[in-house]
Amino acid sequence: MLTVHSLGIDFISGSNRTHAVKGISFSIAPGETLALVGESGSGKSVTGLALTRLLQEPPAVYSSGEILFEGSDVLKMSPRELRRLRGGKIAYVFQEPSTSLNPVFTVRSQIAEALHLHRPEVRDIDGEVARCLDMVGIVDPSKRMHDYPHQLSGGMQQRVMIAMALACHPKLLVADEPTTALDVTVQAQILDQMRLIKQQIKMAMLLITHNFGIIGGIADRVAVMFRGAIVEHGATAEVLHNPQHPYTKALIGCIPQLGQHRRRLTTIDYSTLG
């Protein structure tokens, strides 16, 4: 469904040219979940945003490669086609739920706006909004949808963001660090919910994270990014249990284990990675 072929992205500031993404390739089949794992600055978020050309151009430049979504190249689309793609076919969930919602509108009107954009045929807006909120596990949705974002907890806000993304029946959900801003118990709930929904509506997902700990139960395959390149790519269980690249090994080594009584957390020694 989605094929990224030797995609390169540069950032230009003044006379400096930074290679943020260096010719990466991956693909996602319908209903599949790919986890893109890497540390801050490895280019994983940039890759996620590039899928619908959300990067500000300039400074960003798509220097090489192609992004094929259902056969057409995203990099060659007109602004109009891109708008239809964004939200409608490829939806996003961002890291900061508290600021990703517009503070001056109710939850209902924000989801209704998404419906209006991509599913204008929906007549019963209230019913559809309530259905979406119910799907992400919000109790009493017909009442909560009249709340403003600040009246909800962080976990609820993220559920609303997911509901908004799902409202338009996207083929692919790009979840960029969806649980990083939440505390651990809520993280688990949200991830469970996402896994359930994904099975229900057969949607593909690109899960972008720095945390190897959360991908185990949810991702089919993992791609590990390091300094703008994919250094390892494979089935989740295989990569987790038998990592090949030294960076992957180091990253997995950094996950703190419950019950271990070590005085220091493991860190990555970059000098050995080249």
Partner 1 sequence: MTSFLQIWLPNLAVLTVLLVCVFLAKVVARSDRWTVARRRLQRDKVGQLAAFVCLIYLLVGALETVVVPTQTGSRTLLQMLCSGVPQEKGYAAPMASTALSISSPNPLISKHLLGTDALGRDTLVQTLRATRAALWIGGLTSLVYIPLGVLLGILAAYYRGWVDDLVQYFYSTIAAVPEILMLVAILMVLGKGLGTMAIALGITGWVGMARLIRGEALRQMERPYVAAAKAMGQSHWNIITKHLLPNVMHLVVIKFVLGFSGLVLAEAVLSYLGVGAPVGTASWGAIVDASRSELSREPLVWWNLASASFALFLLVLCLNVLGDSLRRAFDPKSTS
Minimum distance, C-beta of residue 233 to partner 1, in the bound complex (Å): 25
In this structure, the chain runs to a length of 274
Q: What are phi and psi of 220, to 5 degrees?
A: -80, -45
Q: What are phi and psi of 123, to 5 degrees?
A: -95, -50
Q: What are phi and psi of 69, to 5 degrees?
A: -115, 115
Residue (80 or 264) nearer to partner 1, CB: 80
- What letters, b where the CB count within 10 A reaches 16 and e where it falls short, cover 155-166? bbbbbbbbbbbb
Residue (108 or 198) nearer to partner 1, CB: 108
Residue (119 or 245) nearer to partner 1, CB: 119
Minimum distance, C-beta of residue 2 to partner 1, in the bound complex (Å): 16
Minimum distance, C-beta of residue 93 to partner 1, in the bound complex (Å): 9
Minimum distance, C-beta of residue 96 to partner 1, in the bound complex (Å): 5
Residue (47 or 52) nearer to partner 1, CB: 52
By CB under 8 A, name the binding residues for partner 1.
52, 54, 82-88, 91-92, 94-96, 99-106, 108-109, 113-114, 117-118, 146, 148, 150, 161, 164
